[in-house]
Amino acid sequence: MKNKINLIVCSFCILLSVFLILLAFFLKNNNSVLASRAYTTAVDLVGSRSGTTTTGVAFANNSATNTYRSIVGEEADSLTYTIKATVVGAAALGTANAQFSFIASNDPACGTTTSTTLEQWATTTGQINWFDVSPNLLGVTNTLSLPAGTGTIIWNPSSAGHGRQITLTELSAKCVALQISGSSTSLWVQTRTKIK
């Protein structure tokens, strides 16, 4: 009887050991796959970067707002904007600033539309259902104002090369649009999404 119990206990220990080895192997391989897919490749959204040269887009006097769309996709959880001031105007030109607002949409063609089209089936820019995603801003404090129902971040870069990151978390959108207006500054913006 004692030998039978020992045999059962040993068999159980062997099965448990095999199970733990397989579990450890699975977790190790699965974590490496997840880690390699955690972030997408960074994409230049405003301006360009080649090697060590960064070229920004000029913003003059806060009179116009430019909109830059990013296709996020259903598998993305967050979107990070890396922003760098490439040129900051002299004090005589006024205070250098940039204003950022964030809107999103789940419309299928939100990243590829135009304001006019001859094709009946195509969605135009005016038909896109945009919504405010400022509640998804991560860690933005003391710079958030809420004009017209959308969150606007006002940033005053102190010098060329000055940068910051802005992250939107817990996204549930197919695309996100960054609206920028600015004065006396040139900006470069790069985006990167995190996979769920």
CB 164 within 8 A of CB 155: yes
**Quick one: 56 and 124 in the same domain?**
yes
Quick one: pLDDT band at residue 189, thresholds 50, 70, 90? Answer: very high
Residue where the block lists tokens 């964030």: 102
What is the domain-level CATH number for residue 62?
2.60.120
**Quick one: 3 and 19 in the same domain?**
yes
Domain that holds residue 75: 39-195
Which residues 6+ apart lie within 8 Å of 196 measured at CB?
75, 76, 77
Strand 97-105 and strand 152-155: the pairing is antiparallel
Residues in the chain: 196
**Quick one: 28 and 46 in the same domain?**
no
**Quick one: 113 and 131 in the same domain?**
yes
Query: If you average pLDDT over residues 45-65, what whole number do you get?
Result: 85
Whether 164 has a pLDDT exceeding 80, the answer reads yes
Domain tally, the chain = 2
What is this structure's pTM?
A: 0.69
Whether 143 has a pLDDT exceeding 90, the answer reads no
Whether 139 has a pLDDT exceeding 80, the answer reads no
Average per-residue pLDDT for the chain: 75
Whether 23 has a pLDDT exceeding 70, the answer reads no
